[in-house]
Chains A and B, each alone.
Chain A
Amino acid sequence: MGKLTPELERERVRILKASEDYGLDCFDTIFELINYDQINQIAAYGGFPVRYPHWKFGMEYDHLSKSYEYGLSKIYEMVINNDPCYAYLMEGNMMMDQKLVMAHVYGHCDFFKNNIWFSKTNRKMMDQMANHAVRIRRYIDRYGYDPVENFIDVCMSLENLIDRYSPYVETSIVEKKEDKSPGNPLGLLKVDKGYMREYINPPDFVKAQKDKMMEKLSQKQRFPSSPERDIMKFLIQHAPLEDWQQDVMSIIRDEAYYYAPQGMTKTMNEGWASYWHSTIMTQKILNDSEIIDFADHHAGVMAMAPGGYNPYKVGIELMRDIEDRWNRGRFGREWEQCDDVRERKNWDQKLNRGREKIFEVRRVHNDVTFLDEFLNEDFCVRNKMFVYKFDKKQNRFVIDTRDFKAIKAKLLFMMTNFGQPIIRIEDANFENRGELLLSHMHEGIDMQPDFMTETMKNIFKVWQRPVNLVTAMEGEGHFYRFDGNEFIQKKLEAAPKAESSDGSRK
């Protein structure tokens, strides 16, 4: 790894200065100049120079280096959310590309530092990842390569079973205080004079309190007390694991949480960085001879394939749209209610609040809220967006509709939970036999059956008791059970809901 060349360093200082002038606020950013093989290696390691040994990184590396060597793809830019930020430039790229990448990187850095969804991430992840690697290597030395690798495989199979929003929720440990003296389990009001009893605590109230208590008691028997989405955490805490297994699993979970915000803000983050590289480059940095190459490469990044969703493109267009709307005052009630086409077309209140607005947007939104709030019909039409689906008859993907509502619904669905099914633990003592009951919050799309069964087997390996799952397949509720030897599949009468499990709990 090398320091920047004096020429690059000069440009870096210029670009940093320009980005600061625009109001970007970054962590210190350290650029390293590395060759293609090193960049492939680091990219395979998810952006870090050191990770624990696992074949999955080898696979990534194999794919990246093959596709680089055959000229199919090339990594231009990589940046790590860390304080200081680390970013990598590839040796031998043309000067214009290096400048573009640096400008893009400063966009990301600003986003990492200021977006609320990144606020809970570990800013010393560089060190943390290295520590993880050391810990896992130590377990390998002690317990052998195969057992540790096999267990990592199991953990990776479960790594999407986390609750991406949990870091932002304050969990209140303090319960509401009630009068719970031993002689008064029902929490009745205090009665000084016997004849007043029926008035102060009327029978209806006593009965209601009794019911409440019974319900609470039954709730307490439930374990977990409310459905748990952070399945990894639950297993770490409650599954019969060895110490080292617990540690390995918490390492994988840690890393999954570290990467989660990047998944939650992909569109915004790339849109923001692209907005800034294009702004900084075209307004401050490019010289005349570079403009054509810049346009070419910028267009390459923004290109959209018909069947593909390009977060760079959608992100930058939305950012520009927001800036434009707030510059011209195209928001708020008056704008929404205006039906006059001509008036709408010429609407300009000269507010010039666009910049300010996008800085605010980059601070508080994630992809779901971003698209929900700012994706509008004009935008979809202008950008020729559509929903596609798989047509069984033609055996190919076809355009389904260009209806705005459908597009928005589909996009939001794709973004929610990172486009993955939501699975919860309903009961860890199912049928009072210590079995695990999972439920899939079915939202119209079935899970892939073979992967589902394999994942259940992996959960069994951790929980070491039978694993049950309620989901839907082809419109019908299904109940699956894996007891360590065989799979049982049953059709359910009613469509699966979270409550359906209560029927079997008595």
Chain B
Amino acid sequence: MSIREDQSRFKDIVKGKVKENFRRFVSHGEMIGKRENEFVKIPLPQIDIPNFRYGPKQQGGVGQGQGEAGQEAGEPGDGKGKAGESPGEHILEVELSLEELADLLGEQLELPKILPKGAKNINSEKTKFNGLAPVGPEGLRNFKQSYKKALKRYITTGTYDPAEPVIIPIRPDFRYKSFKKVVQPQTRAVVIYMMDVSGSMGDEQKEIVRLESFWINTWLKRHYKGLETRFIIHDAAAKEVDEDTFFRTSESGGTLISSAYKLAQQMIEADYPPNDWNIYPFHFSDGDNWSGEDTRLCVKLLKEFFLPQVNVFSYGQVESKYGSGQFLKDLQKEFPGDDRLTLSQVESKDKILDSIKDFLGKGK
């Protein structure tokens, strides 16, 4: 169908893949997502072909309804027929499934598809009826195909009589459903979120972590069935918590990052053999560690345990008033150009999308 070609052409223009000079006519909705079951705005991009037209605001119009002069008239737009005239009117609030959200995210950030590791190791077998065979059990006889074969035979041999269309199938006409064993790779993944909840992490910082982890979850869920998530919070000591607590807890006190890493290590060793699991540890902190010694311990853990075992280890540093941000610098120094470790700095809420791109942009 050619409309599909037109549609994909339109999408390509919107994405800027073709006709770069057209980008200035594209008006985008914004992409704001909330949590499940709540409304999100989905973008309906629109390209306006320029023509001589009136400016939108001066124009005004005629409406119908109650109200005195000076009262609000509501946004203009005709209920029927053609779409509105001015850009930006096309943002609609609609409910989206998480899968669609993930696709939108992927499309917007141009995220690559994740290539699971360990796919070869875990397989499951399924039978699928997808073929026809000349032999088989009578219970699997495919009537329609058998009839077709018989009809064909009648027609080719010239014995078919439209006035008396009796078709008698014989043995060679019969066709039976046949099945195949399909091997489906099973992929399993676990995300371990670690967050620094020491005194220096304020509400705003935690909000950033919350939003970011939501998007990361959404994206990973799109690629792995049965994604597991585990949550660790830490100040000077680490403990595992449930999701709700993870985002609410506010502790005070010092920061020993290694405590969280050690706990994650135990978790992996106990529950997630790296050969069978795709493992994604995410650690968020304001980058303020207690001592250089502890940082060295963290580096050692990363080098010896995490990096060889996990898909990718991600560290997100949230900017805060109190944090020194030293930890990020240390990691940068220790692992220059190591693509098993992704580092991202999140200065503010606005930068969340960039940061997600940092984390997931490698397709690992």
Q: Which residues of A line the B interface, CB within 8 A?
A: 41, 44-45, 53-63, 66-67, 70, 72, 150, 153, 156-161, 266, 270, 301, 303-314, 383-390, 392, 394, 396-402, 407, 410-411, 414, 419-421, 423, 440, 445-452, 454-455, 458
Contacts and interface: CB of A to CB of B under 8 A. Distances in A.
B7 interface: yes
A398 B73 CA distance: 5
B74 A397 contact: yes
B207 to A, nearest CB: 28
A91 B7 CA distance: 23
Contacts of A423: 52
A56 B8 CA distance: 11
Given A304-B65, A307-B74, A421-B54, A70 B80 contact: no
Contact of B80 (A54, A160, A311, A386): A311
Interface stretch (B55-63, B141-149, B230-238, B286-294): B55-63
B58 A446 contact: yes
Q: Which 9 A-B pairs have the closest CB atoms?
A: A58-B6, A454-B50, A307-B74, A58-B10, A58-B7, A388-B73, A389-B60, A306-B65, A306-B74
B11 interface: yes
B72 to A, nearest CB: 6
11 contacts: A56-B49, A157-B49, A307-B76, A311-B80, A383-B64, A389-B60, A399-B67, A399-B72, A410-B60, A445-B54, A447-B55
A307 B47 contact: no
Given A58-B3, A386-B73, A451 B60 contact: no
Given A307-B74, A421-B53, A55 B60 contact: no
Contacts of A63: 44, 46, 83, 90
A153 B63 contact: no
B348 to A, nearest CB: 26
B109 to A, nearest CB: 20
Contact of B69 (A45, A54, A399): A399
B49 to A, nearest CB: 5
B3 A57 contact: yes
A384 B61 contact: no
A53 B62 contact: no
Contacts of B74: 305-308, 397
Nearest to A459: B52
A157 B11 contact: no
Contacts of A153: 49
Given A61-B7, A414-B62, 16 more contacts: A44-B3, A58-B4, A63-B46, A70-B95, A301-B80, A305-B79, A388-B62, A399-B70, A411-B62, A420-B53, A448-B53, A451-B48, A452-B52, A454-B25, A455-B50, A458-B50
B38 interface: no
Nearest to A317: B64
Given A305-B74, A397-B72, A397-B73, A388 B63 contact: yes
B60 A390 contact: yes
A388 B54 contact: no
A452 B50 CA distance: 7
Contact of A306 (B5, B67, B81): B67
A384 B64 contact: yes
Contacts of A60: 83
Contacts of B6: 44, 53-59, 61
Interface string B71-98: 1111111111101000000101011000
Contacts of B48: 451
A59 B52 contact: no
B13 interface: yes
Contacts of B10: 55-56, 58-59, 62
A45 B59 CA distance: 29
A496 B74 CA distance: 34
A450 B58 CA distance: 15
A158 B53 CA distance: 11
B62 A55 contact: no
Given A61-B6, A70-B92, A72-B94, A385 B55 contact: no
B1 interface: yes
A234 B176 CA distance: 69
A64 to B, nearest CB: 9
A396 B76 contact: no
Contacts of A157: 49-51
A307 B73 contact: yes
A399 B74 CA distance: 9
B205 to A, nearest CB: 34
B66 interface: yes
Contacts of B58: 390, 445-446
Contacts of B72: 306, 394, 396-399
Nearest to A443: B54
A451 B64 contact: no
Contacts of B68: 399
A72 B79 CA distance: 12
Interface in B300-322: none
Interface string B1-22: 1111111111101000001000
B42 to A, nearest CB: 8
Nearest to B54: A445
A419 B5 contact: no
Contacts of B71: 398-399
Contacts of A57: 3, 6
Contacts of B69: 386, 398-402
Contact of A58 (B5, B70, B77, B81): B5
Contact of B54 (A314, A387, A448): A448
Contacts of B76: 307-308, 388, 397
A307 B61 contact: yes
B60 A313 contact: no
A226 to B, nearest CB: 20
Contact of A70 (B46, B47, B51, B94): B94
B13 A55 contact: yes
A445 B59 contact: yes
A101 B61 CA distance: 29
Nearest to A45: B3
- The residue in A61, A389, A397 that gathers the most chain B C-beta atoms within 10 A of its C-beta is A397
A387 to B, nearest CB: 6
A390 B57 contact: yes
B90 A41 contact: no
A93 B314 CA distance: 52
Contacts of A156: 49, 51
Contact of B63 (A159, A307, A454): A307
Contacts of A451: 48, 50-53
Contacts of B62: 309, 385-388, 407, 410-411, 414
Given A58-B7, A384-B65, A386-B65, A161 B52 contact: yes
Contacts of B50: 157, 450-452, 454-455, 458
Contacts of A390: 57-60
A202 to B, nearest CB: 51
A403 B80 CA distance: 26
B130 to A, nearest CB: 26
Given A59-B47, A309-B62, A421 B52 contact: yes
